[in-house]
Amino acid sequence: MRVLAEEGAVEMDLGFLAEVREQCLQPIERCFHCQKCTSGCYLSEYFDYAPNQVIRLVQFGLREQVLKSASIWLCAACQTCAVRCPNGISIPEVMDVLRNMAVAAKGPVAGNARLFHGLFVGDIRRRGRVNEALLLAWYKMRTRQLLADLKEGMILLRKGKLPLVPSRVKDRKEVRRIFRRLEETKRRYIIR
């Protein structure tokens, strides 16, 4: 985990907080850093900035740091932090907006996050739901890391977590309509 005070001289973007707030509709300015979100986040040990630090970066207008952060891509939107926050801040909503901003800014994105999310959204767009086995296969082929995580993959397969026959939602027209609507509003950028 990184320490914000060690960042050295940084450039603050004073309009950034308002921009993020307008898009995620979360009262980010109310965060008083009690860290209830961070202490409940089961993924925070893998984050470069803890969940409350991500909020701090936004409050301070540190656009570049937060959009380059791996944390915004590692958040699994499990909602644990959202239900624990005494100020009613839904961090997954904030993360969502930050991811979209990072994609729109066309800056560096941590690891293969852009590719993974692109494949994930593409699968939803096609069939209305993700097939984990197909998603993994595409990802492995594109990254050429065919043998990485093989052991974990076998465990998932044995537990029936990687269904080999893809399913699709009945009303795919509705899925297409949702994607069209998102593109029209331009509030959310679809990762392709």
Q: Is 51 in the site for ligand SF4 (CB under 6 A)?
A: yes
Q: Is 76 in the site for ligand SF4 (CB under 6 A)?
A: yes
Q: Is 24 in the site for ligand SF4 (CB under 6 A)?
A: no
Q: Is 58 in the site for ligand SF4 (CB under 6 A)?
A: no
Question: For residues 31-50, which are near ligand SF4 according to CB under 6 A?
Answer: 31-37, 40-41, 43
Q: Is 79 in the site for ligand SF4 (CB under 6 A)?
A: yes
Q: Is 178 in the site for ligand SF4 (CB under 6 A)?
A: no
Contact 69, 109 (CB under 8 A): no
Buried b (16+ CB within 10 A) or exposed e, 157-173: eeeeebeeeeeeeeeee
Of 84 and 114, the one with the shorter C-beta distance to ligand SF4 is 84
Catalog residues that contact ligand SF4 under the rule CB under 6 A.
Answer: 31-37, 40-41, 43, 51-52, 55, 75-81, 84-87, 89, 91-92
